[in-house]
Chain A
Amino acid sequence: MNRCGCWKTSFVTQYSLKQEKLLSKTWYSPSLTRLRSRRTRRFLTFATLLSSPHSDKVNSLHCPVNREDFPILHQTIENGKLVYLDSAATSQKPLVVLEALRNYYLHNNANVHRGAHTLSARATEAYERARQTLQHFIGAESREQVIFTRNATEAINLVAYAWGLDNLKPGDELILATSNHHSNIVPWQLIASRTGAVLKYVVLDSQQQDSLESFKSLLESGKVRLVACSHVSNVLGFINDIKQITQWAHSAGALVLVDACQSVPHMPVNVVDLDCDFLVASGHKMCGPTGIGFLYGKESLLENMSPFLGGGEMIAEVYEDYSTFSVLPHKLEAGTPAIAEAVGLGAAVEYLQEIGLDVIHSYEKCLSEYLYRHLKDIPNITIYGPQDITKRVGLCCFNIKGIHASDLAAVLDLEGVAIRSGHHCAQLLHRSLGISGSARASLYMYNTKEEIDSFMGSLYRSIDILKR
């Protein structure tokens, strides 16, 4: 049965006829399938959109970025224009970031920190300026609290090994959440097996968010040393109340590590306001290049941490049987850093600040509401995470009954729509939801309402093919 009444023949036949209307951006709600007149259907769809108060907001929505800044978005994939809905996996990079990388290698490339020559001074200055930009971006009190790493995964491993090995003893508890990304689970498992610490998991509540009650009750044991949770879930799309969790954790004598990969790129984040002890994020999810991320930590904690990786940069003096170590932040940054990438990340942060994280956040809220409401209309769809739209960010993980997420993503790709399928590095979560995988569409500030309309059209057509 055709999902959309406008398609009189099967999708397959139309495809073989290579009709241009196949890639038409308009789509029709299933409730209108009985109507024969295309004009009437189009009018009524338009009218429905107009009639809701939300539609006024979304119709007047303007993308806060100039899409010309992102040349990669303007290409054709397979049979359609690229609609990139996988920013939760990695974001696209604006021209300023590409230019910063190029400029660094064209004019300023040298090794940092100890060179006597001008190029080295320029490279060092660019690298440290990027660190300072990041410091101000997250509201850290000093630049020594921002440690560059390869990505958030490495940052969490840094805390697990450099803090965990020294501070955890048998019987100590670590609180994680089943909704955590693997990067915020596996390092703790490795450390727990080495130190004898015990892992406890926060479960989901009835709204499929991390249960605050669960956090509270697990902290009551009095043995918790660290809580490691997400600020925003990359699958369920909820925002955790980090301030509350941190308050409870500190009262119980536990530290808090926040995985801010899905929050820092999309909304204002202030580490002093959150009062978290550690915060990690990846540069490539916030318009920066791959290969750079950072760890923020409270100064006293970072000061007392042993080094993570050993080598150059992080030492003061080296003797045959021991070495002394450098001050922060260098103590925790061994070897030649990803200098160009850090400079690129600095440029990305400046780009985001110029647009304004408030602006980005409110635009995405509106767009994500639009996406969620239209996804909900699809028959037999399950969208995971809270049903209250005000509690969601711009990503939706979903499954459609009878369709494998991987097949859906593959067929959508034929029309140029890029979504992700699988377990999204959250096997514990998928197991607790009783599913083997899901499809995920995630938005960023460069996505538009028209792209969501296009996605919905492609989605209905894909469902048609796969359910034939």
Chain B
Amino acid sequence: MMEIRTPKTHKAKRVLEKRAPKLVENGKRTLILHGTKTSATLSSVLMELYRLKKGGAIKYSRRNENIRPFESGGETSLEFFSQKTDCSIFAYGSHTKKRPDNLVLGRMYDHHVYDLIEVGIENFKSLLSFSYDKKIAPHEGSKPFICFTGEGFENVPELKQLKEVLTDLFRGEVVDNLNLTGLDRAYICSAVSPTKVFLTHCAIKLKKSGTIVPRIELVEVGPSMDLVIRRNRLPNEGLRKEAMKSSKDKPKKKVKNVDQDDVLGKRGRIFIPEQEVGKTPLPDKSKGVKRERREGKLKKKNKEEGSASKKHKKSE
């Protein structure tokens, strides 16, 4: 016995439509949570990441004991949270003796784990430790510049994946129109070694230059940290292909056998299949079927009927 359930309020309907799969998707939201133990640095990293992504992130404060992203059964909780909060990127922090200050950045496809990358955080500097002129402080939710420096991002596969994940994480919404006065932050990621990336967050100062393009000056506002690559998991090829599919990939279907000519206009080509002379059905030329005969018969019939009715009339 099945029952159709539709939302009873407009608000509920709008929420469901927002979360439905669409051609052009909403900006990815981030879920920030931690495991059984966190260190002071890790908890401040998570808090500051949440602040940077305010408006597009959800932070859970309770500890989660059964989340182990790299183990086969340990991702069910993550997938459940992703479903409930509609978040497709997550940042899971944990601190163990073996892996101190550990941060796992992962992405979801259809609320299932798509890929994972685990980094260790070193040399963390909180945004509270940076002193700068408060006037240039970046506003919440502004679209950032993202810069990657270093050959490592091209040559090392783990760094390549990290580059993609960081772009996804910091990108925010994809917009058509941008207000140039609202550009006030930049994320700088530098591959200082094949296993280490230095990440920092800077505010942008626009200085007058002779041209329309202002001179850019970056001021570190924090946080800044070193990310040391630990483990990673790449998506399997089939899943990657499916996730990378976009609606504009399919080119417009070519119409065959039609060509446009400036002189002759639109021309088409018609192909006639081969005539099998021996197999063509011959017309039925038997006497009774002929059209003239049929029509003649019909006429006679009508005549008779007409005369019969006339006879009746005469008799009356």
Say if A and B assemble together. no
Interface residues of B (CB under 8 A from A): none
